[in-house]
Amino acid sequence: MQTQTIGDLLRSAREKKHFTLEDLAKETHIKLEYLLALEENDFDALPAATFVKAYIRNYARLFELDEKPLFAILRRDFEESVRGQLIPREFLYPQLKKKTLWSPVRLVLFSVITVFLVFFSYAAWQWYQLSRPPALMLSAPLENEEVSSRVILKGDTEVEAILTVNSLPVALREDGSFETELYLPQEGVNTITIKASDKNGKSSVLQRSVRVKF
């Protein structure tokens, strides 16, 4: 029997609830092409791992799934790269080829290229870390969702980021996820502003509108 992938499980859960991808895109405000790539296990077409995990949490919430087994399967099949992308483990640990002949010239050339790539990768990673704002994703509440005056916010950001919700500080878990309750005293449409800042002063800001009904 073929082992089910994370994409197989998510597609199956969606189809059992008679949701089309278009329905799901409207409900979650996730791009249709991202949902399709997720169910096809095409992680090259998806953004950083932080966002992919948030998409999976949206499936779990909407289709009443236990997210822990889903993330266990994700860890089984994929590993997060230094750039925050998910890469199939089979590409990270390919089988060793039988009897490869190495001449001294090839060995020296390979060593030089390896050293160059290590230094280049390190420099590129440092530049990337310094130049980008922290990733920020809000999985709940959904856009234009009807909520009570006390609304629970759930999401993910970078572990070392400073997070605020409507200018109020929010503590992060060890994995960078967060869950906090926000009181909205005004009935009707309210806009929630979530901001994640890093030590270099770079920030990511996300706004979510909800409809408060007492």
- At 99 the pLDDT is 44
Nearest to 189 by CA among 144, 132, 125, 127: 144
Q: Where are the domains of the chain?
A: 6-90, 96-131, 136-212
Top-level class of domain 6-90: mainly alpha
Contact predicate 85/91, CB 8 Å? no
Query: CB count, 10 Å around CB of 68?
Result: 8
- At 93 the pLDDT is 52
CA torsion angle 27 28 29 31 (round to 10)? -110
Contact predicate 50/3, CB 8 Å? no
Reported as a single tens digit per residue, the pLDDT across 52-93 is 999 999 999 999 999 999 989 888 888 887 777 888 776 655
Which regions of the chain are under pLDDT 70?
Answer: 1-2, 90-103, 126, 128-130
- The answer to pTM > 0.75 is no
Reported as a single tens digit per residue, the pLDDT across 188-202 is 999 999 999 998 889
Contact predicate 184/151, CB 8 Å? yes
Q: What are phi and psi of 70, to 5 degrees?
A: -65, -45
Q: Which long-range contacts (CB under 8 A, 24 or more apart) does 167-173 make?
A: 167/193
CATH number for the region 136-212 comes to 2.60.40.10
- At 209 the pLDDT is 96
The sign of the CA dihedral 43, 49, 54, 57 is positive
